[in-house]
Amino acid sequence: MKSRSKSRPQQSSRTKIVVPLIILAVVFVTIGLGIGYFKKDLYTVMKVPEFNLTDQNNKKITNHDMQGKVYLVEFFYSRCPTICPVMNHNMRHIEDQINNPDFGIISISIDPTNDTPEVLKNHAAMMGAKSPNWHFLTGDRDYIGKIADQFNIYVGDKEDQAESLNHSGMIALVDKNGNIRSRYGKDGMPILYYSGLNYKDPEGKEAELSGKYHPDRELLIEDIKKLLK
């Protein structure tokens, strides 16, 4: 009898320890699952900056004209011998894969002195751009520089001859409500922008003009489809 009476307090004390641990574990698992669930959605980076430029058809195009469409924004120039053709070709691939009237592309030239509407129209034809929603835009260079700053996408200083035609290979994804969106990376943080470049490796760690891997291109196709639903 004595041995039984001693075992009960031990069981009770164990229960007092184990039950809170189980509850705590359940809470952490629930939080983890909740975070995982919400991160299936895309992160809202910010409202798309206002822009008002002229396209290859000599038509004024603004961010308001793109309202109701999912679209991509890149900075490039037609004479670029390096990353611009890569970016444009990746855009062309995405255009083919999406093939939706509610999808568009905004390609803003950082070399408006050369890239007149006529030049951009020839460039669009050379690229095989098919969608009426793919706008190759030109305008005042100072204004374009300000737009790039507002997008937080690097474009070189116009006054610096060595840097004026340098630019980032990053692409902004914009939803139908005019919000820049992005997915979350493996670290749980939003990636903010997508790369328009080619890579040597499938992880997208080493860029290469002739690289056969396009990891962010495939991510963009997935995320565009998600926003078009």
Kindly report, residue by residue over 76-107, the tens digit of the pLDDT.
999 999 999 999 999 999 999 999 999 999 99
Quick: pLDDT tens for 25-82.
444 433 444 444 445 699 999 999 999 999 999 999 999 999 999 999 999 999 999 9
Quote the pLDDT of residue 167. 84
Q: Which stretch of DSSP H or E encloses residue 107?
A: strand 103-109
Give 164's contacts (C-beta < 8 A, 6+ positions apart).
110, 156, 157, 158
Rounded CA gap, 171 and 195, in Å?
6
User: Do 109 and 77 contact (CB within 8 A), yes or no?
Assistant: yes
Kindly state the percentage of the chain with pLDDT values over 90.
76
- Mean pLDDT score across all residues of the chain: 86
From residue 108, how far is each of 168, 202, 216 by CA, in Å?
A: 12, 28, 20
Residue reference for tokens 């189980």:
22
pLDDT at 22 over 80: no
